[in-house]
């Protein structure tokens, strides 16, 4: 989010009028990230921790939209009974806002995961009726999939829970050891869908990475890190731009 003047932020959170908030700052009653705030400073509400009388000051009902490079072996659940690392553990190291994952990625899938506190947004990304494309790079074994197999995946294959919707498939790379990298775009999210589609054509997935959701790309976000989505990225997902 953009930086804004501290007194404006405090007033927008309902602490007091802007004039009174200036006084609170001048009197040393406000801290930002643990240090006493100075009049004239600006803050980033997404990252900075503003405290008044021991209470963290937050905008009410603020919607939060996050993208993460989900690492391998990390669970897409809020909590795990066995104490394994979850995506929420990663976020809550940095912020106290409550968010939930938008859909899921398998434990052994890495890549782009969205998180939010906006149920309607989440539904628009997940529900197959909105046809938001999700693109993956799959390292598959068993040699290079034949043109017949590729066109079967493109048209749709019959899995135990129904026929898959049309997919985009491109062979990106053929490795000397017989594996190949296939780019696949699907618009739904059945459980383990990409893995099951490749199992169907006898080319098991060895590694799987999600690289985009709609127009939002993983880009150069480092492995295991997260950032807030930019306003234009949120808009593009809500408007289903591809």
CA distances for 203 relative to 57, 108, 142, 144, angstroms: 52, 17, 5, 8
Residue 97 and residue 95: Cα distance in Å, rounded? 6
Residue 171 and residue 150: Cα distance in Å, rounded? 9
- 137 makes contact with ligand URA (CB under 6 A): no
Nearer to ligand URA, 105 or 153 (CB): 105
- 192 makes contact with ligand URA (CB under 6 A): yes
Q: How far is the CB of 236 from ligand URA (least distance, A)?
A: 21
In the beta sheet, which residues pair with residue 100?
116
Please give the backbone phi and psi of residue 181, each rounded to the nearest 5 degrees, phi first: -105, 125
Binding segment (CB under 6 A) for ligand URA, from list 12-20, 101-109, 116-124, 234-242:
101-109
In the beta sheet, which residues pair with residue 139?
181, 207
Which of residues 7, 37, 140, 195 is near ligand URA by CB under 6 A? 195
72 alpha-carbon distance from chain centroid: 15
- 109 makes contact with ligand URA (CB under 6 A): yes
Which of residues 116, 164, 180, 193 is near ligand URA by CB under 6 A? 193
Site for ligand URA in 1-60 (CB under 6 A): none
Nearest to 187 by CA among 203, 166, 171: 166
- 106 makes contact with ligand URA (CB under 6 A): yes
Task: Tell whether the torsion through CA atoms of 54, 58, 61 and 66 is positive or negative.
Answer: negative
Q: How far is the CB of 86 from ligand URA (least distance, A)?
A: 15
Residues binding ligand URA: what is the number (CB under 6 A)? 8
* 106 belongs to the catalytic site: yes
SS3 string of 84-130? CCEHHHHHHCCCCCCCEECCCCCCCEEEEEEEECCHHHHHHHHCHHH
- 203 makes contact with ligand URA (CB under 6 A): no
Site for ligand URA in 70-89 (CB under 6 A): none
Q: Which of 29, 46, 89, 106 is catalytic?
A: 106
Nearer to ligand URA, 97 or 224 (CB): 224
Q: How far is the CB of 197 from ligand URA (least distance, A)?
A: 8
Residue 79 and residue 40: Cα distance in Å, rounded? 41
Contact residues: ligand URA, CB under 6 A? 105-106, 109, 192-195, 208
Q: What are the residue numbers of the active site? A: 106
């Amino acid at each position: 989010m953009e930086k804004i003047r501290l007194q404006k932020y405090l007033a927008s959170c309902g602490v007091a009028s802007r004039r009174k908030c200036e006084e609170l700052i001048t009197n040393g009653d406000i801290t930002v990230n643990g240090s006493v705030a100075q009049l004239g400073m600006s803050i980033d509400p997404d990252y900075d921790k503003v405290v008044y009388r021991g209470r963290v000051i937050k905008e009410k009902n603020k919607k939060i939209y996050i993208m993460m490079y989900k690492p391998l072996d990390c669970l897409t659940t809020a909590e795990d009974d066995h104490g394994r690392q979850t995506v929420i553990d990663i976020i809550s190291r940095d912020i106290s806002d409550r968010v939930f994952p938008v859909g899921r990625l398998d434990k052994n899938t890495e890549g782009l995961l969205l998180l939010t506190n906006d149920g309607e947004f989440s539904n628009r990304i997940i529900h197959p009726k909105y046809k938001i494309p999700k693109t993956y790079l799959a390292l598959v074994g068993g040699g290079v999939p034949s043109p017949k197999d590729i066109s079967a995946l493109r048209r749709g294959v019959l899995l135990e829970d129904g026929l898959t919707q049309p997919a985009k498939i491109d062979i990106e790379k053929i490795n000397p050891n017989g594996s190949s990298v296939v780019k696949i775009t699907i618009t739904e999210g059945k459980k383990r869908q990409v893995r099951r589609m490749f199992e169907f054509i006898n080319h098991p997935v060895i590694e799987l990475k999600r690289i985009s959701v709609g127009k939002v790309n993983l880009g150069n976000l480092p492995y295991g890190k997260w950032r807030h989505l930019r306003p234009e990225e949120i808009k593009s997902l809500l408007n289903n731009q591809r």
